[in-house]
Amino acid sequence: MVVIPTTGESATRRVRIDKVHSILSNRIKDNEEQFLVRWKGDPNTPPLSWHSISELVRCLELVQDYITVREESKAVSRKRKSPDLAFEHERRASPFDRRLGLTPSASRSPSISSLSAVPTPRTDIDVYNGVLDTDGNGFIFCRSAPGPNIATINIRSLPMEEMLRTARMSKIETANVLIRAEYVRRLGKVVGKRIHLVNVHDYTTPSLRFSYIPDYVLREGVYRADPATQEGCQKCKPDMGRSIGCEYTQKCGCLEYAAVDPVRLTPETKKQYEKALATGGSLLGFPKRFPYFTGDTKRQRTGTLVSFYLDSRHPIYECNDNCGCGPYCRNKNVQFGRQVGLEIFKTGSGRGWGLRCKEDLFMGQFVDTYRGEVITDAEATRREQAGGKLKASYLYSLDKHQESEGLAQADIYVVDGEFMGGPSKFMNHSCEPNCRQYTVSYNKHDTRIYDLAFFAIRDIPAGEELTFDYLDKEEADDEEDAPEGAVPCLCGTTKCRKWLWQ
Ligand SMILES: [Zn+2]
Ligand SMILES: [Zn+2]
Ligand SMILES: [Zn+2]
């Protein structure tokens, strides 16, 4: 075996994640939490070696994968059988029976008897099927090296029952602390007010396989409209006077597709408007409903979404960088990003993780956008079929303009926020939600990519869980009996529809 220098660099030697296939087991040795690393290599006899958690700090995703499966299998075995029976089962299946002098009987399963060709593995061995080496950059790895002094083990015999038993009894506290710390470190890099992580129920941490991204990540076959099509309002200026901006001019080009404000129509323009509506003519030049409040009222605060938009599904058109109104236009809100501090927390009510706000939210206040990979409709179908029923809760079709623009289903893009996105990934469904998802566009000529933005639909006190209706249909479906295999809704509100989808 290659001897690793024990001075200096040994303290910082690390395992590189790209060389590792998976983690198979855990144990305590020399007072350290150790994990059995399966290295990439021969599928039958891959090199395997035990490493302390401090050597695995670059592989915490894999350690977390292993711990998650371990905890799930523990929960399943607790449900399925009594501890005594479980122990009996393990004893009978253990390859170590032979070492203990218990001869394999004819009644053993073929998989156990076929192991007799494999040298009996021992759990106190540190390296199997290879030797440890370093790559010169402080990284340690295990490479295949056949030879009489190399302990060999067939991957099909792993994890051995003895290993499983040791693993169940061995603490993984340090690993859990490091996984949590890594997650918090990544949260600290997310732009905007600090996002906190709270879990008073158990030692779990949300998956490290989720990446926080500041904007959509466009995947194959997905394109934004040419930036040249992003037209700004040209007749608006930043110096139109105090409180005078895009919200007062009837000429703001950005509001071209916004909803017409009937209150501001004169008898003359009302006639023109009715005619335009009847003939499908242009609505350019009519006074439009401005999306955000521009002054405090008793009911609502400056910058919050006005009730027309709050209560309708009309898209919100914000000004953009090409506008003449300048950076302080009141029609820029969502594009400045999240302004409130959020907290990801373990709900402890069977609904996994949830999201809440650290401060009071006002009705109409912008919370955050939904981010993710933007994929084609075909790719979304493929992912949905591969991902099972719960995958649907991460997929949002950008189909707002499908009908009005006559877009084919194949041309619709879909946002997948399961593995990449923002904290809003953790917002749970409720049949009686306190937030809703709105369409926000900065380029009225790009009908295929726009933002999905969450706004509070009522005042929400600090600490109340933020929820939205995953389905949010314009008209409620007639009550139906839950079809077989439907995903049950756990929102617990009085308006609960009992199930989400089939
Ligand atoms: Zn304007
Ligand atoms: Zn503007
Ligand atoms: Zn504008």
pLDDT in tens, 223-248: 999 988 999 998 888 876 555 678 76
Pairs from 242-247 (Cβ < 8 Å, separation ≥ 24): 243/294, 243/295, 245/325, 245/329, 245/330, 245/331, 246/290, 246/319, 246/323, 246/325, 246/329, 246/330, 246/331, 247/290, 247/292, 247/294, 247/330, 247/331
Mean pLDDT of the chain, nearest integer: 84
Residue type at position 118: V
Mean pLDDT score, 167-176: 94
Angle at 421 between CA 418 and CA 423, to 5 degrees: 100
Residue 416's DSSP bridge partners are 373, 395
- Which residues are known to be catalytic? 370, 470
Nearest to 436 by CA among 399, 468, 394, 475: 468
Three-state secondary-structure class, residue 221: coil
Compare 275 and 110 and report the one with higher pLDDT: 275
Q: Would you tell me the crossing angle of helices 161-169 and 83-93 to the nearest 10 degrees?
A: 140
pLDDT exceeds cutoff 80 at 252: yes
| Confidence tier at 71 by pLDDT (50, 70, 90) | confident
Kindly give the distance from the C-alpha atom of residue 374 to the centroid of ligand 1, in angstroms, as a whole number.
29
**pLDDT for res 170:** 94
Q: Does domain 190-502 have CATH number 3.30.70.270?
A: no
Over residues 413-434, the mean pLDDT reads 95
- Position 241 scores a pLDDT of 59
**Residue 106 predicted with pLDDT over 80:** no
Q: Is 213 left (phi over 0), alpha (psi -120 to 50) or beta?
A: beta
pLDDT band at 115 (very low <50, low <70, confident <90, very high): very low
User: CB neighbours of 70 closer than 8 A, spacing ≥ 6?
Assistant: 26, 167
Reply yes or no on whether the pLDDT at 280 is more than 50: yes
Residues with CB under 5 A from ligand 2 (ion): 246, 319, 323, 325, 329, 331
- Condensed to tens digits (0 to 9), the pLDDT of residues 359-383 reads 999 999 999 999 999 999 999 999 9
In this predicted structure, the answer to whether residue 188 has a pLDDT above a threshold of 80 is: yes
How far does the centroid of ligand 2 lie from the alpha carbon of residue 296, in Å? 19
CB 497 within 8 A of CB 460: no
| Confidence check: pLDDT of 91 > 80 | no
Ligand nearest to the CA of 252: 1
Distance 432 CA to ligand 3 centre (A): 35
Q: Where are the domains of the chain?
A: 8-182, 190-502
- Report CA(423)–ligand 2 centroid distance (Å): 28
For residue 84, pLDDT beyond 50: no
**Interval 378-410: pLDDT, tens:** 999 999 999 887 888 899 999 999 998 999 999
**Which of 33-42, 156-165, 487-496 has the highest mean predicted lDDT (pLDDT)?**
33-42
